[in-house]
């Protein structure tokens, strides 16, 4: 059964909610009626739903520079599209765009733009109806494409015209992300059009930008599931939206680890490396990121870690591996590495060994490894202070070495 209709805020209630947001304070202070400036896109959608917006984007009918100067400092400018990014004194950033119409010279190309004479001419260029709603600053007038608020109340994602996904296939990605974030569902016509979209008419960099946004959603699995159901060609063959072991790996990952790369690697366990690595390169992942995803996606990468029996064996297996790869390897040894072993350090170094008579060269590293193994395994000589115990272990003759 379909979800019951949502009760939406009125435009007046949405404007009151906007005024209560600290991030909107400066914007509402400087916006004048003669600016013909409108809050647009996801911000209006979220305000009408009773949610707090992620960002506050503004469309202006006419030049944007005057409003931008009153609002703050321009930190980025994109003249082709008539857009500015402005930072206010209190650190809030807003995207300001001149209201425009768009035409696409070919499928997947960036659009040619023309300034729009009114906000109603700008809204039809957007991705889905629930994002084609605008709230005028500062008086709360509302503009929308036909049926936008009906779709918002019903939880429906509906494209605005039949060529939407032909013109810009990244809209398939965005539809999947909205479905995951909002709990909405694409209507049948939108699904049929998405199935016909050609993902290969847009660059890998644009796919990569959308992929990163999907990985950052509160429920990435649902975003990827929806994307696959709309058009499986947007992801590589073998990609798994809900991979086994992911939750355990994320639970192991220490602070500062890349949860997005852990999720991506786990989802790509069924993708061949011959396909995976070129896809990652094409979508703009760095060589270091590709190494993590490629290694983490292969279950046998850290086989010695699972077989390790002593702390020193765990250390040798995991040391130097990215934390994301160790987390994906999983198991008790990975947990022990993160919880107990990865920060164990010697108090001595190579200079101490040289002073003790060890010749410079490979023997220094071997001696330090002996001392670290002994420290990890609780086998340092007893009765000595720590530095002396480590030095004694380092200088000990290795087993099997002739005297």
Handedness of CA 307, 312, 315, 317 (dihedral sign): negative
Helix (H, G, I), strand (E, B) or coil at 307: helix
**Per-residue pLDDT at 72:** 95
Does residue 403 carry a pLDDT above 50? no
DSSP conformational letter for 339: I
Structure-token pair, residue 92: 């809030």
Find out whether 356 and 332 touch, Cβ atoms under 8 Å. no
SS3 content of the chain, % helix, strand, coil (to 5): 50, 10, 35
* Mean pLDDT value across residues 102-131: 94
Which ranges of 100-256 does DSSP label H, i.e. alpha helix?
A: 119-122, 148-154, 164-167, 170-182, 188-195, 204-215, 220-230, 246-252
* Mean pLDDT value across residues 152-177: 97
* Mean pLDDT value across residues 307-330: 95
* Mean pLDDT value across residues 387-399: 88
**Per-residue pLDDT at 4:** 65
Does residue 221 carry a pLDDT above 50? yes
pLDDT band at 81 (very low <50, low <70, confident <90, very high): confident
pLDDT digits (tens, 9 = 90+) for 228-267: 999 999 999 999 999 999 999 999 999 999 999 999 999 9
Domains of the chain with bracketed CATH:
1-154 (3.30.460.10), 298-341 (no CATH), 350-395 (no CATH)
pLDDT digits (tens, 9 = 90+) for 117-143: 999 999 999 999 999 999 999 899 999
**Per-residue pLDDT at 2:** 47
Does residue 209 carry a pLDDT above 50? yes
Residue whose structure tokens are 């949502």:
6
pTM: 0.89
* Mean pLDDT value across residues 89-107: 93
Does residue 400 carry a pLDDT above 90? no
**Per-residue pLDDT at 3:** 59
**Per-residue pLDDT at 92:** 93
Whole-angstrom distance, CA of residue 164 vs CA of residue 171: 8
Whole-angstrom distance, CA of residue 188 vs CA of residue 127: 16
pLDDT band at 370 (very low <50, low <70, confident <90, very high): very high
Helix (H, G, I), strand (E, B) or coil at 376: helix
Whole-angstrom distance, CA of residue 393 vs CA of residue 289: 38
Find out whether 100 and 114 touch, Cβ atoms under 8 Å. yes
* Mean pLDDT value across residues 80-105: 92
CA angle in degrees (0–180, nearest 5) for 70-95-171: 160
Does residue 1 carry a pLDDT above 60? no
- Lowest mean pLDDT of 31-35, 148-152, 179-183, 308-312, name the range: 31-35
Structure-token pair, residue 368: 């330090």
Structure-token pair, residue 359: 């010749």
DSSP conformational letter for 132: -
């Amino acid at each position: 059964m379909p979800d019951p209709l949502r009760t939406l805020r009125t435009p007046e209630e949405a404007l009151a909610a906007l005024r209560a947001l600290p991030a909107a304070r400066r914007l509402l202070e400087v916006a004048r009626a003669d600016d013909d400036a409108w809050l647009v896109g996801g911000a209006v959608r979220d305000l009408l739903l009773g949610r707090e917006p992620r960002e506050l984007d503004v469309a202006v009918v006419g030049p944007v520079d005057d409003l931008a100067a009153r609002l703050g400092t321009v930190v980025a400018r994109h003249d082709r599209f008539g857009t500015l990014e402005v930072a206010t004194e209190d650190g809030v950033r807003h995207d300001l765009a001149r209201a425009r119409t768009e035409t696409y010279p070919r499928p997947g190309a960036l659009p040619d733009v023309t300034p729009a004479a009114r906000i109603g001419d700008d809204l039809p260029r957007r991705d889905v109806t629930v994002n084609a709603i605008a709230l005028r600053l500062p008086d709360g007038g509302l503009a929308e494409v036909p049926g936008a608020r009906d779709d918002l109340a019903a939880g429906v994602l509906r494209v605005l015209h039949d060529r939407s996904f032909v013109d810009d296939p990244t809209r398939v990605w965005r539809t999947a992300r909205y479905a995951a974030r909002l709990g909405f569902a694409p209507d049948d016509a939108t699904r049929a059009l998405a199935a016909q979209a050609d993902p290969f008419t847009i660059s890998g960099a644009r796919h990569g930008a959308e992929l990163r946004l999907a990985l950052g959603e509160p429920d990435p699995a649902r975003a990827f599931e929806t994307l696959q159901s709309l058009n499986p060609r947007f992801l590589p063959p073998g990609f798994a939206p809900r991979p086994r072991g992911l939750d355990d790996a994320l639970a192991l990952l220490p602070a500062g680890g890349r949860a997005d790369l852990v999720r991506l690697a786990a989802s790509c366990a069924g993708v061949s490396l011959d396909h995976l690595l070129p896809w990652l390169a094409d979508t703009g992942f760095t060589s270091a990121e590709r190494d993590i995803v490629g290694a983490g996606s292969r279950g046998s990468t850290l086989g010695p870690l699972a077989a390790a029996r002593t702390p020193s064996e765990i250390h040798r297996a995991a040391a130097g591996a990215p934390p994301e790869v160790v987390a994906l390897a999983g198991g008790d040894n990975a947990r022990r590495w993160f919880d107990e072993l990865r920060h164990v350090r010697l108090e001595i170094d190579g200079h101490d060994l040289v002073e003790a008579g060890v010749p410079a060269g490979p023997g220094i590293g071997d001696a330090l490894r002996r001392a670290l193994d002994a420290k990890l395994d609780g086998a340092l000589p007893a009765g000595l202070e720590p530095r002396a115990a480590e030095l004694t272990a380092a200088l000990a003759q290795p087993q099997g070495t002739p005297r």
